[in-house]
Structure 1
């Protein structure tokens, strides 16, 4: 008792594959972000399940997941989520948005979200971090270029970009951060998603072939993304030995 508490705002339904292998996307996020002594709760906002106003103060932060829904859409749950995000913003609650979560945060803050004119961005992409990263991220000694899995066709102070997407990472104050890519995804999850997109005729075979080829040869910087996300949500980390899997709170 007394440990930190976080909520995952689930914006998509789990695939059978991810449920069976990872315990759903909630399990994927917990595997990346959860530490001993913490409590992690899930709210299926895509199904209309939201935390109550009086419960918001119980949490140290929230994570917004990806989704198949457009962040500029008008589904009721999308508008309810925007209302919730504005409440979290008003009380300076730590909020981390991933992919759709990144886009819906931008919309809630008054930004514009639209379909990307360059089409799907799916596969492994290199993100260039700003050379003037704000503190405390400048103290993490992260590489200037990080690889990450992308799976989106929409787009939203910029602190990271790629040749495909102009705004890969943004922040608002010290309590809101959006990441367009998927730091929680493994190559295995990406390959399974590519297969599903092909089956549903969402992407052309040529796009899938290129994405698979890159995914199989590129090494993901999952540890560095984990450090960045945990540092944002919870505090600072000693990264002098980054890469050996040991994270020390300082």
Structure 2
């Protein structure tokens, strides 16, 4: 079984990482729980570390980040160029949150600050008519969210597979080898709560309190994790 290349795009504060790990750790734990035989390789692309070749990998998973897809940091420009190459080569590609956003930004879409501000806590993702391979139109799956940016214009050729009340572009597919989610199937409730506590002043007390209350709702992260593995050819 070929390993999944995890493109890590952030370094979580040590105060959070001590208990919850870095983003690659979260994906390895959540996906590995589905299939313990899965293999992974981590590349800190936010430090411009890339595999020499992707020939030996099943595909690429791009993590979330506190950075913005429209930032002009050199590592972000390099990542966007790499995404274009991955799509042209037909490498299976999955993006989560920032990963979702930067895939669209790299391929001709647009990412902006959400007009409604921060989206945090549990959000209901409703499947669209284009999501026939994932479930009936209107079916809902709940995911944790933590973002203030959104995809406002999709990359050409995009199918919008799910939307939330606050985020019209919540799950997308580009061709049959690119799948993206604005939500976080790798997050636990404990980490979502810790992250909101850490960002409370930035997010705002009222928004945080409502989001904290939402954490009692059921989650459907297993569905999203299975869909990710399908795209990466690991099911």
TM-score > 0.5, shorter chain as reference: yes
Cα RMSD (Å) = 1.8
Report the secondary structure of 2:165's partner residue.
coil
User: Which of 133, 142, 150 is the matching residue for 1:147?
Assistant: 142
Structure label with greater radius of gyration: 1
1:212 alignment counterpart? 212
Maintained 8 Å contact 1:142/1:224: no
Deviations, residues 185-206 of structure 1 (Å, cap 9, x unaligned): 11111000001102xx311111
1:129 aligns to 2:127 (yes or no): yes
Cα distance between partner residues in 1 of 2:93 and 2:27: 14
Superposed, 1:40-189 pairs within 5 Å as 40-52=40-52, 55-135=53-133, 137-138=134-135, 144-156=139-151, 157-189=159-191
Cα distance between partner residues in 1 of 2:233 and 2:15: 30
Task: Give ranges in structure 1 of 5+ residues lacking alignment.
Answer: 237-250
Cα distance between partner residues in 1 of 2:92 and 2:7: 13
Q: Quote how far apart the aligned CAs of 1:142 are.
A: 10
Report the secondary structure of 2:167's partner residue.
coil
Report the secondary structure of 2:108's partner residue.
coil
Q: Quote how far apart the aligned CAs of 1:18 are.
A: 4.5
Report the secondary structure of 1:171's partner residue.
strand
Report the secondary structure of 2:199's partner residue.
helix
Cα distance between partner residues in 1 of 2:197 and 2:20: 18
Cα distance between partner residues in 1 of 2:228 and 2:117: 27
Aligned residues: 226
1:242 alignment counterpart? none
